[in-house]
Amino acid sequence: MLCLFDLDGTLIDSEHGITACVKHALERLRVTIPAAEELRRWIGPPLRHSFAPLLDHDTARIEAAVEHYHERFDTHGWREHTVYPGIEPLIGRLLDAGHQLAIVTGKPHRHAEPILAQLPFARAFLRLYGPAPSSANSEKADMIATAMADFGARAEETVMIGDRHFDIEGAVANRVRGIGVLWGFGSRAELEQAGATAIAATPDELGVLLGLSS
């Protein structure tokens, strides 16, 4: 089976790195910083989508904010994350069972690549799919379709795993199973509304849903 994993909120807890970079960008533009709970919702959607309402949908200011975000991300933010407990052994078990693994992330490819490279299970993932830095869209559906074509995987042989509605909607668009996870930044209601085939509360539960013995 082809198992496609989201990155932020699914494999790694990147809340501190992402929110610190958002704060940096808004401080540079002298914009009031939203509450911590609101900032958590920035993890998953494209940056331009999240910055737009705070910046009056001003294209120039949005692009400036993205640039300021990347200033800090390139030096500090990309390293500010931890692997969720239980993920590393799950990845090992999936490999032992003969599954193929790839990452489909809303994070630009050039930013996700160094993060993946230093993860303890980096070699388990055969491919990494991420949008171009200039993209204003999540593009999950397109990336899932590309992954399926690259691996020659049929819909019934593919599963997308993620913590936000973008992941599940991308799966639905490609008629593949979309499994939501609850240890990230989305809620059960969000995942169910998006059309999740199943929802896992822990990596062990996810393993069972992926056909691994408990």
Question: Average of pLDDT values for 15-32?
Answer: 88
Q: 52 and 92: one domain? A: no
Instruction: Tell me if 99 sits within 8 A of 207, measured CB to CB.
Output: no
Q: 104 and 172: one domain? A: yes
Q: 32 and 91: one domain? A: no
Burial status of residue 91 (CB atoms within 10 A of its CB: 0-12, 13-18, 19 or more): buried
Whether pLDDT at 108 is above 90 = no
- CATH code where residue 20 lies: 1.10.150.240
Residue that finishes a domain, picked among 54, 79, 104: 79
Number of domains observed in the structure of the chain: 2
Does a structural domain hold residue 130? yes
Whether pLDDT at 171 is above 90 = yes
CA-to-CA distance for 43 and 55, rounded, in angstroms? 18
Does a structural domain hold residue 214? no
Distances (CA, A) of 42 to 16, 77, 96, 99, 206: 12, 14, 35, 31, 24
CA-to-CA distance for 194 and 32, rounded, in angstroms? 31
For the entire predicted model, the pTM comes to 0.84
Domain residues for the domain of 29 are: 15-79
Q: Which of 11-20, 60-69, 190-199 has the lowest mean pLDDT?
A: 11-20
Determine the length of the chain: 214
The pLDDT, as a whole number, for residue 138 is: 62
